[in-house]
Amino acid sequence: MQSPPTPPPDTPVPFSYTINPLEPTEYSTAFTIADICFAPLDTLIFKKDSYPPSPSSSAQRTKARIARLTNSTPQPTLFKATDTLTGHIIGIPHWTIHHHDEEITQSVTDAVNNIVNASIPEMNRDAVRGFYTMVTEGKRDVLRVDVPVRGVYGPRGKDFPVVKLTRRVELETVFVHPAYWRRGVASALLEWVIKEAERLGLIVYLEATEEGRRVYERVGFEVVRGEWFDAGVFGGKGGCEYTFMVRRPTGMIAD
């Protein structure tokens, strides 16, 4: 399935869409749209002038991402917004529900190494390591609820607490094809996640770039941690603001 074309500027386009579960056969299409939406962020962890990657590397990356999605525990929930006129998929939300506190016994180093080792040749492995170390440490610090005990959190060879992360709905991603921005699609997709979290009495956790942050704030998310990723430190170019956000269910008081 091809990505929907961008309409000419200032051209009225009749528009309606439906929201339904995303089928496994549509995962490749979803990742194609994701790559379009997240290109500004992706370029920060690629070697200079190496984005977009070659067709073979793109296929390798998509295959690996589908495998991770299929083997995830708990199993993720994925929906799609579909343009009723064209039949094109135009947006995807992807979330997981953690009904109980989650104990993490893998070190940050080992978790990040798994990501680095799966990198395609066009990626800047140092930048990948730097970015995902920032993300992994930030997530664990924001969500941790445990009393420290001896374990394997932190650099190899040292004793750090095992990390226990709070129960939650984790919004892994939500994205809408740029041709359909500012039409309320992202807000509609977020409503599905928020309603489920409200029903379960769970916080919703997500990570966002500066552009996405404004969308999330409009539906009740708040920034609880902010970072700046500088690709220049790793031989790349550019940087981005990266935020960790939560939305608490109605009536929950912040700690």
Which residues have CB under 8 Å from 7's CB, separation 6+? Answer: 13, 179
**The pLDDT value given to residue 154:** 46
CA distance 195 to 216: 14
State the pTM of this model: 0.87
pLDDT at 105 (0 to 100): 87
Contact, 166 vs 145, CB < 8 A?
A: yes
Question: Which residues of the chain register pLDDT less than 50?
Answer: 1-2, 7-12, 149-159
- Cβ atoms 4, 90 nearer than 8 A: yes
Q: How far apart are CA 157 and CA 56, in angstroms?
A: 38
Which amino acid belongs to residue 72?
A: S
Distance CA 91, CA 215 (A): 14
Pairing of strands 17-21, 204-209: unpaired
Listed by start position, the domains of the chain span: 17-247
Which pLDDT does position 163 carry in this prediction?
83
Q: Specify the pLDDT at position 1.
A: 46
Q: Tell me the per-residue pLDDT of 132-166, one tens digit each, with 9 for 90 and over.
A: 999 999 999 999 986 554 444 444 444 455 789 99
What is the topology classification, in CATH, of domain 17-247? Aminopeptidase (3.40.630)
CA distances from residue 83 to 89, 108, 111, 193, 246 in whole angstroms, order as listed = 6, 40, 38, 20, 29
